[in-house]
A and B are shown apart, each in its own frame.
Chain A
Amino acid sequence: MRRRVVITGLGAVTPLGNNVKDTWTALAAGKSGIRPITIFDASHFPTKIAGEIKNLNTDAWTGKNGSFRFMGRNSLFALEAAHEAFKDAGLQKNKLNHERFGIYMGAGDGGFDFREYGEIVSRSIDQDSMSVNVRAYFENVLKNLKSAEVLEQEPSQVVRHLADTFEAAGPVSNCLTACAASSQALGEASRLIREGYADVMLSGGAHSMIHPLGVAGFNLLTALSTRNESPERASRPFDKNRDGFVLSEGAGVLILEELEHAKKRGATIYAELVGYGGTADAFRLTDPHSEGRGAAQAMRLALKDASLSTTEIDYINAHGTSTELNDQIETHSVKTVFGEKAKQIPMSSIKSMLGHMIAAAGAVELIASVLTIRESLIPPTINYETPDEACDLDYVPNQARQKKVNTVLSNSFGFGGQNITLIAKRFES
C-alpha cells in the first residue's frame, strides 16, 4: 500500500498579510495587496506597482541575533512562514526524528543591493572606452561588498537557514523553476514521503524580485502590467483588458507528513496531497506552447496520480497570471483536459489579489486551495470586468463563493516551460 501524504501545517507571508489567517481573510474578502512600489524609487520605471510585504516583524525568532542582518528578503520571508507552519503543525524539534525530517523549497535568489552595485560599476567605467576597467571593478568590489552579502544571493541560502534553524537532517533540496518552483518543491517533497525517504517535510517557496533589476528585466520582456494609476485593479486574470502580471513577493510554507506519523501524534490534518504531475513544454523560452500541450499533460498526470477522473475535481486554482497568453492558453488547456465539463468547474486566480510571487506563488496557492476545502469558500478572481471570448470559463468573478469543495487542482506554469499540477483532497481516514 502506498504511503499517504497529508498537510498538517501552514505558514504564509504575503502582500495581504504576514500570516495565513490575515492572508485568507483578505482573499475571502476579495482585497488587493497591490500598491505603488516603496522598496526602491520606481517613479520613473515603466511599472511602478507591486505587491510588497509590509511591517514584517521577525523579532519572535531573530531576537538580537546579528546573523540575520544580511539575509535576503527571500530568507526572512521563508523563516517567518516556516516558524508559523512548524508551530501550526504542533511540531517540536526535540520530538522529531531529524533524519526523517527534510526540507524541499522552491526558493528564489536573495537579490542584491542594486544601488550599491551600480555605483561600484559606475566608478569602474573607463570613460574613453565606455567599458568596465577590470582592476577598478575588482578593487571597488573588495572595498564595498561583504562576504555574507555575496553568499546570501545564492538561492541555496534559504534552505541552509531553514535546515539549521529547524534541525532537519533528512533530504534537503531547493529548486528554482521560475513561477512553478514552489509547486514543484511540494510535489517532490510529497514524493519523498510517499517513497519512504522521509516522514515529515517542510516545503514551499520564498522569493522577492521587487528590486530594480527584477522589475527592469520583466519590463524589458513586456511581461508586467503598467496600469500604474490603479494598482489594486492592475492584476486582472482572464479579463479582456489585462495587460500583464504584477510582481509581488513573499513566502508560503507547508508541513507535509506521512499519514500514520501525523495520526500517531494527533496532528490536525488540513487535507491530503494526492496528485502531482510535472512536464515541460520544450517549446520556447518566453511563450507557453500554443496549444497548452505541456500544461494539459501536467493536469492529466496529476489526475492519474491521484486516481481521480475529470468529473471529480470541484475547483481549479489557476495559475492565472493576467498575461495575454497565459490566461488564454491555460483556459484552452483546461478545456482540453476537462472537455465540456470545464465550464462547470469554478476556476479562480488569487494572483488577481496577491500579484505574482514568482517562485513562492504555487505554495501560497496550495495553502489557499487547502483552506478552500476547509472553509467551503472559493476565493474570487477580482478585477474581472470585461469577458474575453478566448477565456470563457467560470472564473468566480469578484466575489468569493460558498461551495463544498472536496478536491482542488492547482496549476503552476514556469517561465521557460515547466508545468506543475498539484491536487489536494479533503481528508478521509
Chain B
Amino acid sequence: MKKRVVITGLGPVSALGEGADTFWSGIAAGRSGIDRVSFGEGDGALPRTAAQVPDFDPEKYVTQRKSLKVMARDIQLAMAGASLAMKDAGLAAPVAEPDRSGVIVGAGVLNHELDELAYSIQNSIGEKGNLDLKKFGQDGIPALFPLWLLKYLPNMPACHISILYDLRGFNNTITTGSSAGLQAVGEAFRILERGDADLMLAGGADSKVNPVGISQYQVMKVLSKAAETNPKNAYKPFDTAADGFVVGEGAGFLVLEELEHAKKRGAKIYAEITGFGSSGPSGCATAMKHALEEAEIAASGISYLQACGLGIPEEDTLELEALEKTFGGAIKDLSVGFSKPNIGFTGFAAGALDLIVSTLSLQQNTVPPVVTRPQFKKSSSFQWGEKSRSKKIQHAMTSAFGFGGQSASMVIEAYEGV
C-alpha cells in the first residue's frame, strides 16, 4: 500500500516578500514585485527590469557568518525558504527523527559574482591580452577564494539544509532546469509514498538577478523588451504580445509528510498530494496525463490550474496546445492562474513557488487574479479574472514546463481529515 503524503509547511521567498502570509496577500491582491533594479555603475546598458527579493537579509536565516561566506545568493535564498517552511510546519532544528527525514532541492548552475574572478584573471593575462593558462596556474589560482567551488556546487543548498536541520535521510539535488523545483517536490513525494522517509523538505532556489545571469539570458534572447519600459504591466504570458520573460529570484520550499506522521504530531495540513507526472522537454501533455491518472480524476475534475506561463511565445503555444489536449472541451471552464507576472521567472524555484500558490489557493478556496490581462492568440481560452474570486477548490494542478527543462505536473487535493 502506498503511503499518503500531505503538505504541512510552506516557505516562499520572492519579490513579493518572505513567508506564506506575505506571499499570499501579494498574490491574492494581484501585486507585482517586478521593478527596475540596479547592478551598480555602468549598468545602463543592461536590461534592468527584474523581480528581486526586497531587502533580503540572509543573516536572519544563517547565523554563522562563516557559513554565509561560502553561500552564493541562491544558497542563501534556499536557506531562507527552507527555514520558513520548517517554521510554518511547526518544526525546529534539529528534527526529532533525523534518519527518517530528508531534503531534495531543485538547483543547477549557480552564477558567480563577477569581481570574485577579476583579480585572478587579471593575474593571468598574457602579453597579447589573451588568457594565459600558465599564468593562471601559477598566479591566478592562488588569487581565487579557496572555498570558491563550495560556493557554487549545485548540491550545496541541500547539504547546508541537511546540516542545519540534521536531515540524515534521502538527500538529492534535482537539476532539470526550470522544472527542477517541482520535480524535487515530486521526487520527495515518491520517497514518502514508498515509505523511505516520514518527512521531506523539498523545493528550489534560484537567483539570476545579477549581471552574469542577465547577460546570459540576453544572449539567449529570452528577456521581455516591453517590460524594460513598463515593468509592472508588460510581462504577459499567453498574450498575443508576449515577448519574453522578466527574470526573478527566490526560493520555494514545502514540508511534506507521511499522513499518519503529520496527524500524530497534530500538524496543520494544507493539502494532500495525489498525483505527479514528469516527462521530457516536449512532454507537457504526458506529464499532466500521468499526474491525473495517478490522482484518479478526469481533467474536468481540476478546479484550479496553476499554469507555467513563461511568456516566451513558442513555449506558451506549446503549453496551450498541451492544455487543449489534456482538458479538451473542459478548458473553457478551467480556472487558471499564473504567477510569473507577480514574481518573475524564478528558474529552479519557479515550479515550487507555483505549487505554493496552488496550495494556498486550494486552502483559501480562492482563484487568484492574473495581473496582466492577457489577450489570447487562440480562440480557445480558459477562465481567469482580474480580481480574486471565491471558488471551492477540491483539486488543483500545478505545471512546470520548458525552457531547457523537463516537464512536470502535480495534482493536490483538499484534505478533509479522513
**Which residues on A are within 8 Å of B, measured CB to CB?**
40-46, 99, 103, 107, 109, 114-115, 118-119, 121-123, 125, 130-139, 141-142, 145-147, 150-151, 153-157, 159-160, 163-164, 168-178, 184, 188, 191-192, 195, 197, 212, 216-221, 278-286, 293-294, 297, 414-418
Contact = CB atoms under 8 A, between A and B. Distances in A.
B266 interface: no
Interface string B130-168: 110111111011001111111001111011101101111
A216 B123 CA distance: 14
Interface string B37-52: 0011111111000000
B168 A282 contact: yes
Contacts of A217: 148-149
Nearest to B180: A156
Given A177-B173, A282-B167, A172 B129 contact: no
Contacts of A218: 149
Contacts of A118: 117, 121, 124, 131, 136
Given A118-B136, A175-B173, A282-B162, A137 B114 contact: yes
A177 B171 contact: yes
Interface residues of B, number: 94
Contacts of B165: 282
Contact of B109 (A103, A130, A155, A173): A155
Interface in B19-46: 39-46
A10 B167 CA distance: 34
Nearest to A121: B121
B281 A163 contact: yes
A156 B122 CA distance: 32
Contact of B43 (A41, A134, A178, A216): A134
Contact of B218 (A135, A138, A168): A138
A297 to B, nearest CB: 7
A131 B43 CA distance: 14
B99 interface: yes
Contact of A416 (B156, B193, B214): B156
Contact of B404 (A107, A160, A221, A286): A160
9 contacts: A114-B131, A132-B211, A135-B43, A137-B114, A163-B280, A191-B194, A280-B170, A281-B168, A418-B155
B375 to A, nearest CB: 28
B404 A156 contact: yes
B286 interface: yes
Contact of B163 (A40, A131, A170, A283): A283
B223 to A, nearest CB: 12
B175 interface: yes
B287 to A, nearest CB: 9
B374 interface: no
B45 A139 contact: yes
B358 interface: no
